[in-house]
Structure 1
Amino acid sequence: MTIKLTPRLTSSLLAAAAFTVLAGASSAMAQSSDKTFALSNNYAGNSWRQAMIKSWEDGTKAAVAAGAAKSADAFTTGENSPTEQAAQVQNLILQGYNAIVLNSASPSALNGAVKEACDAGITVVSFDGVVSEPCAWRVAVDFKKMGVDQIDYLAKRYPNGGNLLEIRGLAGTSVDDQIHAGLAEGVKNHPNFKIVREVQGDWTQTVAQKSVASVLPSLPEIIGVVTQGGDGFGAAQAFEAAGKPLPTIIMGNREDELRWWKQQKDK
């Protein structure tokens, strides 16, 4: 079962949506006061993921206090490793959790562990980084459209097109794959644009800044930077530090990105 949501959801709304789906996923979960829930998260290295974990903790703490759940624990793997996260899910099965909410390191590499959980009678809901195993629920955002929309916007602003730099997200995740696919489709629809270089940003300002800075000396003139969120401010810092003119940078909604955008607007 797949439930589709808008790309503009905040971390708190997305985590809340996943927990809501989990609570009503089956009639067996309708009476959940004695049920145990677990969050399996593959990564916590940026502010969005930190906010997501905080949202889970706040929401589930209230649910436990209200008697809607017996417990709701959060677990995060250290290195965005599908193998490590699959082992984590298998441990959650052995620990006897009734339901697992999953932000997955891979759309397919965890399918075996997810199927084991389903076969054990455990309800599994994946969100953000979703899994393709049919037995799991998926709270899915149309991330591909997010990529297409970026190129559509730039096509309106720059009718003659131009070169673009792409900052990618966390390697191997469904989110990164889908946004990248959307950008590729957007460029196909507007062939006067060309993505001349890709760098990894991991949805993190510091990683994006370092990656962009490393390619600036060899980069041809570009008119825009297409991103995945959390990386736009890092790109801006890299251009400013190198003394290069700022291209149009697609920003996310992180606090540092919005603060920098306002500073540019107020100049």
Structure 2
Amino acid sequence: MRLPSALVCSVALSLLAWSGLASAAGLDELPKDIQQRLYNKDMLDPQQPIGPSAYRDWKAPRKAPWTIGYASSYAGNTWRAMAMDRLQNVIIPKWKKLGLLKDVLVTQSNLKDSVQIQQIRQLVDQGVDAIIVCCSNPTALNQSVKYAYDKGVPVFSFTGYLTSPYAVNSSNNYQLGGFQVGSALANQIGGKGNVLVVEGIPGTSGSDSQDRGMKAGLASHPDVKITGDVAGMWTDQIGQAEVQKWLATHPGKLDGIVVQSAAELGVLRALQQSGRPMVPVTIGGETGALCYWRKHPEYLKEAYQLWPPGDDIELTWNIMMRTLQGQGPKIQSVLVDSVKFTFDDVKKRMGEDCDENSDKWENVGIENWGGTDYLDQFFLRPADPEKYKP
């Protein structure tokens, strides 16, 4: 059946108007400096969702106090422990006192997508008002995210993204951060030499983005050669074991190691136990690794914190609370800058009596990791979420 020409024209004009609105919404509404710094296509994971948020005009079906679900994918490393510590000992008491939180229900899937999918559905069926997920496969959860959305439950992903249009993501720009880390290591070794790459958990968006960026940073120095690639699984014990095995089977010259936290402490131990020279190892936020640098001032020139655990979970929590309050996120992914550490920064944070075996983390502070004024720029109706009255 042919449509009348007038109707065709009308539909076409409507689609053009809609597409114009869509292109103007979201990314284009952010300040230009943020767009250029954190959303530059040359330094952004090509799968990172940056379209208009599905929650721009959304309102929570129920009034506060709210019940929140945390569908965690893994609990087996120090980073997850520190994130949970901030949640349980700072965030939950604070928001209960504000009268905006009733309870938090926590599940663990131990890196099994099928289990996490089922747990998300169970949390929705139990009546939670929003769900937080962490560090997950970028596509595996999409159907469960849509299930939650259809039931009026938004899903918030931190430390990595979900590709579902019904998720809100928050993190560092990991591809850019990885490039900064890779470039710093290349500069540290004089722009030439053999480098071992220690990935995180392959298949997760945060790990894959960082890995791509780190390798691009190394590749920007043509005389740097990647001679090995192992998976540290964001866990010190695994990173140590994998690097020990690699060192035992690759006796050739090694000039540096680029590693994703949380595994740098294990990688340092592997080097120390190997009897090889202590070549530069990139350091993120692990306190024990930073302490090694504190006691060896010439070891590194700089380091980058890409995911302070306590600050990361508090960032997504604040985005979630603003969304539940109807502030309207502009864009699917809220990205923040890496934080650079120099030796002077480390010296200020810890004394010479620090513990090289500490499995704690150095956070940078929520105001330095997407604070109130920064987040205001990502919402259509920004307001201090702690002053919200139901």
Following the alignment from structure 1 to structure 2, what is the Cα–Cα distance between the partners of residues 132 and 161? 37
Change (3 A) 1:104 1:229: closer
Does residue 132 of the first structure (1) align with residue 163 of the second (2)?
yes
Following the alignment from structure 2 to structure 1, what is the Cα–Cα distance between the partners of residues 81 and 268? 23
Does residue 69 of the first structure (1) align with residue 98 of the second (2)?
no
Following the alignment from structure 2 to structure 1, what is the Cα–Cα distance between the partners of residues 181 and 212? 12
1:60 corresponds to: 92
1:11 corresponds to: none
2:245 corresponds to: 214
Offset at residue 124 of structure 1 (A): 1.3
Offset at residue 27 of structure 1 (A): 5.5
Unpaired stretches in structure 2, ≥5 consecutive residues: 1-25, 39-54, 298-351, 353-390
The one of 192, 197, 205 equivalent to 1:174 is 205
Q: Is the Cα contact below 8 Å between 1:37 and 1:71 reproduced in 2?
A: yes
Offset at residue 130 of structure 1 (A): 2.0
* Aligned-residue RMSD, C-alpha: 2.5
Deviations 1:105-150 (A, max 9, x none): 2011111111111111111111113211011111132111122112
Change (3 A) 1:261 1:232: same
Deviations 1:226-260 (A, max 9, x none): 01112122112111111111111101221211222
- Greater C-alpha radius of gyration: 2
Report the residue type matching 1:195 in the other structure.
Answer: I
The one of 34, 38, 58 equivalent to 2:65 is 34
3-state SS of paired residue (2:183): helix
Offset at residue 191 of structure 1 (A): 2.1
**Percent same amino acid among aligned pairs?**
26
Following the alignment from structure 1 to structure 2, what is the Cα–Cα distance between the partners of residues 151 and 230? 16
3-state SS of paired residue (1:114): helix
Does residue 51 of the first structure (1) align with residue 70 of the second (2)?
no
The one of 148, 153, 163 equivalent to 2:179 is 148
Report the residue type matching 1:260 in the other structure.
Answer: Y
Unpaired stretches in structure 1, ≥5 consecutive residues: 8-23
2:140 corresponds to: 109
Deviations 1:200-249 (A, max 9, x none): 21222211111110111222211110011121221121111111111111
Q: Is the Cα contact below 8 Å between 1:61 and 1:72 reproduced in 2?
A: no
Report the residue type matching 1:234 in the other structure.
Answer: G
Offset at residue 34 of structure 1 (A): 3.4
- 1:179-258 pair list within 5 angstroms: 179-219=210-250, 220-258=252-290
Q: Is the Cα contact below 8 Å between 2:71 and 2:131 reproduced in 1?
A: yes
Report the residue type matching 1:253 in the other structure.
Answer: G
Report the residue type matching 1:193 in the other structure.
Answer: V
Following the alignment from structure 2 to structure 1, what is the Cα–Cα distance between the partners of residues 182 and 58? 43
Q: After the TM superposition, which parts of structure 1 deviate over 6 Å for at least 4 consecutive aligned residues?
A: 1-4
Deviations 1:150-197 (A, max 9, x none): 222233333441110011112321111001110222233222112111
Greater Cα shift, 24-33 or 99-108: 24-33
Following the alignment from structure 2 to structure 1, what is the Cα–Cα distance between the partners of residues 230 and 256? 14
Offset at residue 26 of structure 1 (A): 6.0
Structure with higher RCO (Cα < 8 A, 6+ apart) = 2
2:121 corresponds to: 90
Following the alignment from structure 1 to structure 2, what is the Cα–Cα distance between the partners of residues 99 and 164? 43
Tell me how many residue pairs correspond in the alignment. Answer: 249
Q: Is the Cα contact below 8 Å between 1:148 and 1:183 reproduced in 2?
A: yes
